[in-house]
Amino acid sequence: MIQATPNHSPRRSRHRFLLLMVIVGVLSISALVTYVLRARTRPVPIPATTTNPPSIYAGTATGPLYTPFQLEIDPMQRLLLINFGEDPDAIYLGFEPQVFDDERHGTGLIVIAWRVDGKVDVYHQPGVRLDPATYAIAGDGLNLMLERPLADASFRVTETGVEAAFAFEDALGRSIEVAISERNPAPRRPFGLLAPMGQAATSPSALPLVLLHDFYFVRQAATEVTLLIDGKSHTPDKMPVPIDGTRMYFMRYSPDPVIATLNPAYDGPMTPLEHLSATEARLGELTVELGDNQGQPEITQLRRSFNDHEVTVAFTPPLPNLVNLAEGASTSGIFTIAADPSVGQVIGEYALKRQGSTVTLEAIPSGGWYPNESKWTVQLIYLMAADFTAWPRSYRWTATLDLTHPSQATMQSRWERITPP
């Protein structure tokens, strides 16, 4: 008779078997979620060729080189989103404090107050300079912008989580007081995210790319929350499923955001690129990488940097030299917007055609956002809330270039939602 040793007892073997089954189950769920998530993201056709045929050009390269695509960066230091849509105020259902410290905005804190009617109110400290047009792409647009002292306001991210506090009087004279103190000793396990800020926009003026590095949720344990509007307490929304085995509020933050916009709407003269070398040009703070197509310079990639991060827009095949396109010439391809690998990438399609002295262009982020996240719980959230990955697909950019005078081209461009938000 063979007796089981303590290290190989039936009970221990059963426990190991059950643990193995749990691990297999989790991995299976993760694989299934990943598969379905990818399947729900519309694939973008890969171009048959990665180069433009020389036949699209008329003669040798002459005149300036223009880029119809633009990439801008809006500096920001930190942001926090506080939702209480399950227990809303008569006017507000969320607050979004943001911290600035740069030459464009100055130094200070603002609070975007998300309204139940879809618009936003913006309250800002005197030391912050804001362009109201920036908030036209938030929800149904800007309702009002008011300066407030926001005395003693603070917002920082520590090793134990978020510490934030602000108080102000809203446009109706009501007092608003918010304080969050997260002092959870467990290590945070942040990840990267493209925030679906553009999902609610009805009349976008650009494609908003809110890239959130070191992104995480506020944990319920060891967190004190005060949320008072006109003396009434409100309860912040909670996540429906735990993340990293921890129950979370639907309050999320990033101490390292990069706010980029693709192709802001424009109507006016275009500026020729400044050639730095055969492979690189510049337009202000935008770096343009060039390729050569039998003597015709073409745009392979755009690059824009902020702090330690870089955002790129790559084209396959490259954007052609628009000034030298032949009559009736056309081309199409894909564009890929990428940054830090943790925030994934956005993939879309572009097409252009020349007729006479006019070049028309169209770009649609038809592939949506491809996240790059291994946590199956986060993947499950993306699966349950499809807007996280699908919202860019509803945007379409169109532009018309007038090349009547090639040395001074002009462009009119706009964005629209091709499916309702």
Per-residue pLDDT of 126-157, as tens digits, reads 999 999 888 877 778 899 999 999 999 999 99
Nearest Cα to Cα of residue 347 among 331, 371, 330: 371
Q: How confident is the model at residue 37 (pLDDT cuts 50, 70, 90)?
A: very low
Q: How confident is the model at residue 2 (pLDDT cuts 50, 70, 90)?
A: very low
For 283-310, what is the mean pLDDT? 94
Q: How far apart are CA 176 and CA 196, in angstroms?
A: 26
67-76 burial string, b = 16+ CB within 10 Å, else e?
A: bbbbbbbbeb
Q: How far apart are CA 262 and CA 71, in angstroms?
A: 5
Taking the mean position of all CA atoms in its chain, how far away is CA 415?
16
Q: How far apart are CA 94 and CA 99, in angstroms?
A: 17
Q: How confident is the model at residue 31 (pLDDT cuts 50, 70, 90)?
A: very low
> Looking at residue 195, what is its pLDDT?
86
> Looking at residue 47, what is its pLDDT?
62
DSSP characters over 60-91: S--S----S--EEEE--SEEEEEE-TTS--SS
Instruction: Tell me the whole-structure pTM to 2 decimals.
Output: 0.82
Which pair of tokens denotes residue 274?
């400044």
Residues 6 or more apart from 391 whose CB is under 8 A from it? 196, 198, 199, 368, 369, 421
Which tens digits make up the pLDDT trace of 196-213? 877 777 788 899 999 999
Q: Which residue has the tokens 């920036």?
A: 134
